[in-house]
C-alpha cells in the first residue's frame, strides 16, 4: 500500500551548482516546500522581462538584420558556419519561469520534456533554474545527470523501457516511473525487488480523448499505443498496491502535442479526477497528478492558450474536483524551447524549375524533419532582407529525396549566398536530426546577451565513420 506523500525519503543529491542538497520533489521533512516557490532554486540570474510567444520574438529584425538577443545571426554564421541551430537563453528560461510562476503557491514541479531539445547547454540552463525533467530513455537520463540535475527531479515516461534502463534509473533514484502497461508494471516490480528497493510508480492512463492535433502526435486516443486504458486502471492500481517492489506515487496522462485549445486537456483531466476518486475510495492514496505536456506554440497564426491560462485551467479543475492540494507535475517541451530556437542556413543556389522556383539551401530534411514528416509550416526569414520584388520559392535541401523540403511557396527576395533563418525550430529540430546522406549534424549555439557559446560543435565526417569498421579481406 502506498504511504503518505511526499514520502519521507532522505535522499541527498548533487545539484547543478554542485551543492549537496535534498531534492524538492522526492521530499524531505526539512526541505520540501509546502508550496511551490518557483524562484527557490533559480540560480540563473535575476528576473528578466518576459518575452511574448510570437515565433519571431526571440529573433527580431533590427536595422535590417535578424538578431538573437544582442547578436546578429550573420556573425554566428560567420563564426560557426551553416547550418547551425541558434538558441536564445532568455527565450528558453522565460516560458519555464512562466510555468513555474503559474504553479506558485502549490506543490508541484515543471518537468521539461527532454526529447524536445536535449542539448546539454539547454538542460543545464533549465536545471539551474530549478526544472525537473521528463525522460524517455537511459540516454536522456544520462544527459540530465551530466547537465547537473538531481535524479530525484526526473520522471521516466515511454512505452518500451528496457530492463537495464529501469534498473539504472531506479539506482540513480528517479522520482517516478510513468508506467504504460501491465507488463511493464511487473517488470519494474521484479527489478525493484531484485535490487531491494521500492520503485515509485504512476500509471500513465489513456483517457481516450481527441486532442485535435496531427495524428502522429496524438497520444490520448484508444487507438494509440500509449498508456493504460483508463477503464483498466482501477484494477491495475489495486494489483500494483500489492506488489512489494512498488510504491504508488501518482497518476499520469499526456494526450498529445501542439495542442491549441484547452478543452481536450480538461476533458482528459476530468476523466483522470474520476479515476483518482475511484482509486482513493479503494484506499489507495494518489499523491501526485501529472498532466503531461502538449501545450502548442504559434508557428504562424495559431493562437494557443497562454502558459498561465493552461496551468490555471488544470489547477482550477483540480480545485473544483477537490484535488487542489495534490502535488502537480507538468511535462512541457515544445512550449519551452520551440520559439527559442532557429535554424540558420545559407542559400546554395536559386534554381528556376519548369513549374516553380527552388531555393536550394545547405540545411535539409536530415537537419529539420518536421516540415516533411508532419507537413509542418515553419516560418523562413531572410537574415538580411533585400529590397526588391520577391519571388515564390520552395526552400529545399541537398538530400536526394523529393520530400526534402523545409518550406513551400514562400515569397522571398533572395540571392545565392544569402542567409535564411527557419524560425520556431528550437523543439524537435536538432533532437530529431539524423546523418542521412552522410551529412554531419549542425552546430548548436546558445546566445546569452552579447555572448555566443558553441554548445555543440558541427559533426565531421570523422565523427560519422569513427563508429564503423570494415570486415577483413
- Interior angle at CA 118, CA 111 and CA 178, nearest 5: 40
Question: Does 258 contact ligand LLP by CB under 6 A?
Answer: yes
Q: Which stretch binds ligand LLP (CB under 6 A): 34-42, 184-192, 238-246, 286-294?
A: 286-294
Length, in residues, of the chain: 473
Rounded-to-integer distance, Cα 132 and Cα 183, Å: 27
Residue in 13, 44, 82, 157 binding ligand LLP, rule: CB under 6 A: 157
Question: Does 333 contact ligand LLP by CB under 6 A?
Answer: yes
Question: Does 221 contact ligand LLP by CB under 6 A?
Answer: no
How many Cβ atoms are within 10 Å of 301's Cβ, its own excluded? 7
Among residues 354, 313, 330, 339, the alpha carbon closest in space to that of 422 is found at: 339
Nearer to ligand LLP, 7 or 159 (CB): 159
The site map against ligand LLP for 88-117 (x = CB under 6 A) is -------------------------x--x-
Rounded-to-integer distance, Cα 359 and Cα 357, Å: 7
Look up residue 62 and give its three cell numbers. Answer: 533590427
What's the min distance (Å) between Cβ of 259 and ligand LLP? 7
Task: Say if residue 213 is preceded by a cis peptide, omega within 30 of 0.
Answer: no
Q: Which stretch binds ligand LLP (CB under 6 A): 32-40, 86-94, 254-262, 304-312?
A: 254-262
Look up residue 416 and give its three cell numbers. Answer: 545565392
Question: Does 288 contact ligand LLP by CB under 6 A?
Answer: no
Among residues 291, 337, 329, 335, the alpha carbon closest in space to that of 123 is found at: 337
Q: Which stretch binds ligand LLP (CB under 6 A): 62-70, 265-273, 333-341, 377-385?
A: 333-341
Residue in 334, 346, 381, 439 binding ligand LLP, rule: CB under 6 A: 334
The residue count for binding ligand LLP (CB under 6 A) is 22
Torsions phi, psi for 214 (to 5 deg): -60, 135
Chain residues 32-61 in contact with ligand LLP, contact rule CB under 6 A? none
Determine contact, residues 371/439, Cβ cutoff 8 Å.
no
Question: What is residue 366's three-state secondary structure?
Answer: coil
Q: Are strands 288-290 and 246-252 parallel, antiparallel or unpaired?
A: parallel
What's the min distance (Å) between Cβ of 296 and ligand LLP? 7
Nearer to ligand LLP, 257 or 345 (CB): 257
Q: Which stretch binds ligand LLP (CB under 6 A): 97-105, 251-259, 358-366, 382-390?
A: 251-259
- By the 10 Å C-beta count (0-12 exposed, 13-18 middle, 19+ buried), 81 is classed as middle
Residue ranges binding ligand LLP (CB under 6 A): 113, 116, 134, 157, 217, 219, 254, 257-258, 292-295, 331-335, 370, 374, 427-428
Amino acid at each position: 500500500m502506498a504511504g503518505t506523500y511526499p514520502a519521507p525519503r532522505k535522499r541527498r543529491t548533487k545539484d547543478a551548482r554542485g551543492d549537496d542538497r535534498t531534492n524538492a520533489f522526492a521530499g524531505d521533512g526539512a526541505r520540501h516546500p509546502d508550496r511551490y516557490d518557483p524562484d527557490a532554486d533559480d540560480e540563473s540570474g535575476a528576473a528578466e522581462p518576459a518575452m511574448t510567444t510570437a515565433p519571431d520574438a526571440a529573433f527580431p529584425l533590427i536595422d535590417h538584420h535578424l538578431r538573437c538577443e544582442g547578436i546578429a545571426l550573420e556573425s554566428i554564421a560567420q563564426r560557426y558556419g551553416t547550418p547551425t541551430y541558434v538558441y536564445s537563453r532568455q527565450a528558453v528560461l522565460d516560458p519555464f519561469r512562466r510555468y513555474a510562476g503559474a504553479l506558485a503557491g502549490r506543490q508541484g514541479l515543471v518537468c521539461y520534456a527532454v526529447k524536445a531539445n536535449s542539448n546539454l547547454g539547454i538542460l543545464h540552463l533549465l536545471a539551474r533554474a530549478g526544472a525537473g525533467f521528463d525522460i524517455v530513455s537511459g540516454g536522456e537520463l544520462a544527459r540530465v545527470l551530466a547537465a547537473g540535475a538531481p535524479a530525484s527531479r526526473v520522471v521516466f515516461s515511454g512505452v518500451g523501457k528496457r530492463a537495464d534502463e529501469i534498473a539504472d534509473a531506479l539506482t540513480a533514484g528517479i522520482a517516478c516511473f510513468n508506467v504504460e502497461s501491465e507488463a511493464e508494471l511487473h517488470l519494474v516490480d521484479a527489478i525493484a525487488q531484485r535490487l531491494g528497493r521500492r520503485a515509485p510508480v504512476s500509471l500513465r492512463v489513456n483517457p481516450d480523448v481527441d486532442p485535435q492535433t496531427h495524428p502522429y502526435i496524438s497520444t490520448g486516443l484508444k487507438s494509440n499505443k500509449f498508456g493504460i486504458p483508463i477503464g483498466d486502471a482501477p484494477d491495475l492500481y489495486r494489483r500494483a498496491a500489492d506488489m512489494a517492489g512498488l510504491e504508488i506515487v501518482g497518476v499520469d496522462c499526456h494526450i498529445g502535442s501542439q495542442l491549441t485549445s484547452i478543452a481536450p486537456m480538461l476533458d482528459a483531466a476530468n476523466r483522470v479526477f474520476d479515476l483518482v476518486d475511484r482509486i482513493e475510495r479503494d484506499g489507495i492514496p494518489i499523491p501526485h497528478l501529472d498532466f503531461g505536456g502538449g501545450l502548442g506554440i504559434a508557428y504562424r497564426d495559431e493562437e494557443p492558450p497562454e502558459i498561465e491560462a493552461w496551468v490555471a485551467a488544470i489547477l482550477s479543475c483540480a480545485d473544483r474536483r477537490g484535488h487542489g492540494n495534490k502535488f502537480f507535475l507538468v511535462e512541457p517541451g515544445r512550449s519551452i524551447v520551440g520559439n527559442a530556437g532557429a535554424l540558420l542556413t545559407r542559400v546554395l543556389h536559386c534554381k528556376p524549375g519548369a513549374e516553380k522556383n527552388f531555393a536550394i539551401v545547405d540545411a535539409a530534411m536530415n537537419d529539420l524533419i518536421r516540415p516533411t514528416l508532419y507537413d509542418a509550416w515553419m516560418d523562413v526569414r531572410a537574415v538580411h532582407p533585400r529590397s526588391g520584388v520577391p519571388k515564390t520559392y520552395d526552400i529545399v535541401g541537398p538530400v536526394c529525396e523529393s520530400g526534402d523540403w523545409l518550406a513551400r511557396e514562400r515569397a522571398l527576395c533572395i540571392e545565392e549566398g544569402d542567409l535564411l533563418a527557419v524560425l520556431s525550430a528550437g523543439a524537435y529540430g536538432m533532437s530529431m536530426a539524423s546523418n542521412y546522406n552522410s551529412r554531419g549534424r549542425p552546430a548548436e549555439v546558445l546566445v546569452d546577451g552579447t555572448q555566443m557559446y558553441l554548445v555543440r560543435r558541427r559533426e565531421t565526417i570523422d565523427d560519422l565513420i569513427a563508429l564503423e569498421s570494415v570486415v577483413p579481406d
